[in-house]
Structure 1
Amino acid sequence: MRLVILGGGGFRVPLVYRALLGDRAEGRVTEVVLHDVDAGRLDAIARVLADQAAGVPDAPAVRVTTDLDEALRGADFVFSAIRVGGLAGRAADERVALAEGVLGQETVGAGGIAYGLRTVPVAVDIARRVKRLAPDAWVINFTNPAGLVTEAMSRHIGDRAIGICDSPVGLGRRVAGLLGVAPGRAWLDYVGLNHLGWLRGLEVDGRDLLPALLADRDLLGSFEEGKLFGADWLQSLGAIPNEYLHYYYFNRETVAAYQRAERTRGAFLHDQQARFYDTLRDHPDAPAFPAWDATRAEREATYMAASREAAGAGERAPEDLESGGYEGVALALMRAIAHDERTTLILNVRNRTTLSVLDADAVIEVPCLVDAGGARPVSVAPLPAHATGLVCAVKAVEREVLAAAESGSRATAVKAFALHPLVDSVSVARRLVDGYRAAHPGLAYLN
């Protein structure tokens, strides 16, 4: 089975390869094709993967290319993990937004919109090429903003575009651990959009254990989301929000923390990863994996640092410093589809009839039944009014982003920014569009 990874020079690719090395089942991935526009990054990551494969019998073969069409031909699965504009682009997204006093996070608010406007045209081109060159391939989208990008691709390849995220996996693992439950035994009642969802129940043998957690203030205060949101707010909601909802519920405090920070998250990662890639370029004979692993550990330790500062949440727990598990979700998804191994995973897929407040083509993030026919969302109870309002508002913004990317309309882009709950003025929205067009040549298409 051939797996193509677009954005193959990306820093997190070794996490995927680690999962592939651990898969010894029949019908596993035997060839990995890495594609990237940056040959130097491709070379660095290929070296890390070679270190990982050392001593592993029958490790998947790795091939690299900068030719997109060559990469896609013959693919069974395509992982889209691109970052249009690189980390320098992410840092600019944050900087322009903070100058206007609004959030610049890469998937939420102004920064997410800017990233989407840059990324959607590229993602659409990829989807069209997949349809032409590998019509039977499944595209598993890692690229942020994951729900928005998956919806853009699904308009061209339908249900063969499936988005994944590690946030629901990490949340479910943490809550299950607190309740003494093996994660694999629990059914997670999780619903929303990507980076905008709520865990409403955790069922084991038909019994919902989440109310017991919500009733225990000490237990609530002992894990990541409890520290971020506080026991009072979680009890008021009657659910555990995805960690990214901290940007909505505590927006003022988070923006202030970002503004106080010496560097934004994007600027930190840009500098950190530049050192990693420069080190491997300057030391072609040095072991690559130790340098990657040390950089990864530092990256995980500083995840959502501004939000934790705003909440007074302290350092991340040691058990949260490992990857959230998106590579495991991707492997399980591939196996379920390729070998008709029925499973349930939280994924980003087209809504169909799951949430009545959204149309059938709107991509949502919910538990899905997966088999050889793909991923189908399960039926879920309606969201409460406060969550419905937020989901509908953000989905409306995503639709304006898609419309702006298709039409090239500056006015539509302004509308997308202005309608977002975290942008408080049409005047600010206009300045954001102008600021982002100045910062990103790739947004020159907005007229």
Structure 2
Amino acid sequence: MRPVKIVIIGACSASFGLGALQDAVQTTDLQGSTLVLVDTDEPRLQVMLKLAHRMNEEAGTGLIIQSTTNRREALPEADFVITSVAVRRDELWRKDWEIPKANGLRQVLGENGGPGGLSHALRNIPIILDICRDMEELCPDAYLINFTNPESRIIMAVHRYTNIKAVGLCHGVFMGRERVANILGRHPTEIDVKAAGVNHLLWLMDIRDAKSGEDLYPELRRRERELPENDVGPWGVDLLSRKLFRHFGYWPSPTDDHVGEYLPYAWELVGMEGYNFDQAEAYRKQRQLEIEAWADGRKPLGELLTKPSGEIAFDIIRAIAGNRNEYVLAVNIANNGCITNLPADAIVEVPALVSGFGIQGLTMGALPDGIAALCNTQVNVQRLVVKAAVEGDRRAALQALLVDPVVDSLRAAEVTLDQLLAVHREYLPQFQQSMAP
């Protein structure tokens, strides 16, 4: 495989950044390749750079590792650009959660769907498009591999407004497979799944024994019926997923809280507790202490050198750069016929073949009518959100709320949008003219 240049933007993320380093140093085919870590937090970036050098040396991968706070310095001649970025993520997300709730709107998470998902997209889409414009100038042939949420809306914006080759990645399919394996009493690697839908509203359309090819759906249906109502799976109690499974006939993925972001009745089963911001903050602080200990050599690297992160960005890089014809379980790409009863411009999540020819989504045929109806609704919301985020179009933003199934009050939609645009004003320059008195 030829050496490549990989730019990681958002490298100081306690989970994403560390996971990317794990996968990079475990990908031995990358010998001689350049890895550039980019983040605006200079002190933490230096810690991450120090850790990256230690991991590279102990693993013997042979990477050339650099860092910068200026992405334009990193992008020239890049082959792959990986993004996981956000501004004050949990602090602003908390407002995306609290404001709609105070106005009586019942969203269960507020990250990717509902009013919170709209607000999140309005902030993040311009950030990613700015990166893409730099890529068009400095590395126009590079692939964008995006982890930033809301995934489907961001990839639609990139597809519509830039010439950059882009793919969105999410580990939701693996979470769905793990829960199904848990019910079947098997290890996840023992089952093969074929999934299709839109991000965080993904459906396991086929489940088989990985060796024999036996259809495991009949057994899954039988075993699920035998579970107690309060059964705790790998991701907690999942009453919503189990109800959807019974009513639509296929297992949804990834988890109740994410799937429930798109459904007006999800709160009945998922509850209204929302994301545990305090727990997440405590985890990040603890993880940062570990990163510093690893970087300083006070803690052995252990599984950082042997255990993959669970993401597939570096599988895709290796497959493209080495023309490996590798099958991957799920990517977020423009539909173009992969799911025949969703629009061509929809951003769908489907399996793909990855090679030097690029990322080719597999044709999954038509989704069952009920599932297609759920997904089509989200495609229509995607379009309105993207228009609003790119053009600063307040009318499109309000229409996105009024089309969203989670929103059940015109007055609450109007008030919520006004308040979200006001509280996030400094992060929404595209709306300044429309919000002027």
Name 2:28's counterpart in structure 1.
Answer: 24
Alpha-carbon distance in structure 2 between the residues aligned to 1:94 and 1:324: 29
Letter of the aligned partner of 2:47 in structure 1?
A
Name 2:66's counterpart in structure 1.
Answer: 63
Cα–Cα, structure 1 residues 8 and 433, in superposed 2: closer, same or farther, change >3 Å? Answer: same
Shift of 1:29: 6.8
Alpha-carbon distance in structure 2 between the residues aligned to 1:387 and 1:105: 22
Alpha-carbon distance in structure 1 between the residues aligned to 2:102 and 2:175: 32
Cα–Cα, structure 1 residues 90 and 397, in superposed 2: closer, same or farther, change >3 Å? Answer: same
Could you tell me whether the CA contact under 8 Å between 1:366 and 1:378 is conserved in 2? Answer: yes
Shift of 1:123: 1.2
- Report 1:300-311 matches (<5 A): none
Name 2:267's counterpart in structure 1.
Answer: 251
Could you tell me whether the CA contact under 8 Å between 2:152 and 2:168 is conserved in 1? Answer: yes
Cα–Cα, structure 1 residues 225 and 269, in superposed 2: closer, same or farther, change >3 Å? Answer: closer
Alpha-carbon distance in structure 2 between the residues aligned to 1:140 and 1:289: 31
Name 2:101's counterpart in structure 1.
Answer: 98
Q: Percent identity at matched positions? A: 27
State which of 422, 428, 437 in structure 2 corresponds to 1:443: 428
State which of 20, 25, 42 in structure 1 corresponds to 2:45: 42
Shift of 1:64: 1.4
Q: Secondary structure at the match of 1:438?
A: helix
Cα–Cα, structure 1 residues 415 and 44, in superposed 2: closer, same or farther, change >3 Å? Answer: farther
State which of 163, 167, 174 in structure 2 corresponds to 1:169: 174
Name 2:238's counterpart in structure 1.
Answer: 228
Shift of 1:265: 2.8
Could you tell me whether the CA contact under 8 Å between 1:52 and 1:289 is conserved in 2? Answer: no
- Structure-1-length-normalised TM-score: 0.82
Could you tell me whether the CA contact under 8 Å between 1:188 and 1:203 is conserved in 2? Answer: yes
Name 1:403's counterpart in structure 2.
Answer: 387
Letter of the aligned partner of 1:23 in structure 2?
T
Letter of the aligned partner of 2:353 in structure 1?
L
Letter of the aligned partner of 2:170 in structure 1?
C
Alpha-carbon distance in structure 1 between the residues aligned to 2:22 and 2:295: 22
Matched, 1:333 2:316: yes
- Structure-2-length-normalised TM-score: 0.84
Letter of the aligned partner of 1:75 in structure 2?
A
Shift of 1:143: 0.7
Letter of the aligned partner of 1:365 in structure 2?
E
Cα–Cα, structure 1 residues 253 and 210, in superposed 2: closer, same or farther, change >3 Å? Answer: closer
Alpha-carbon distance in structure 2 between the residues aligned to 1:365 and 1:233: 19
Paired residues in the alignment total: 411
Matched, 1:199 2:182: no
Alpha-carbon distance in structure 1 between the residues aligned to 2:276 and 2:300: 23
Point out where structure 2 has 5 or more consecutive residues left out of the alignment: none
Point out where structure 1 has 5 or more consecutive residues left out of the alignment: 259-263, 297-321
Name 1:237's counterpart in structure 2.
Answer: 248
Considering only aligned residues, what root-mean-square deviation do their CA atoms show, in Å? Answer: 3.2
State which of 108, 114, 125 in structure 2 corresponds to 1:109: 114
User: Which stretch shows the higher mean deviation, 271-280 or 203-212?
Assistant: 271-280
Q: Secondary structure at the match of 1:365?
A: strand
Shift of 1:150: 1.3
Cα–Cα, structure 1 residues 255 and 106, in superposed 2: closer, same or farther, change >3 Å? Answer: same
- Report 1:5-404 matches (<5 A): 5-11=8-14, 12-25=16-29, 27-28=30-31, 30-53=33-56, 55-101=58-104, 102-103=106-107, 104-158=109-163, 160-176=165-181, 179=184, 186-204=191-209, 205-216=212-223, 217-218=225-226, 221=231, 223-224=233-234, 227-229=237-239, 231=242, 233-242=244-253, 243=255, 244-247=258-261, 248=263, 250-258=266-274, 264-270=275-281, 272-273=283-284, 277=288, 325-326=310-311, 329-345=312-328, 346-404=330-388
Cα–Cα, structure 1 residues 210 and 393, in superposed 2: closer, same or farther, change >3 Å? Answer: same
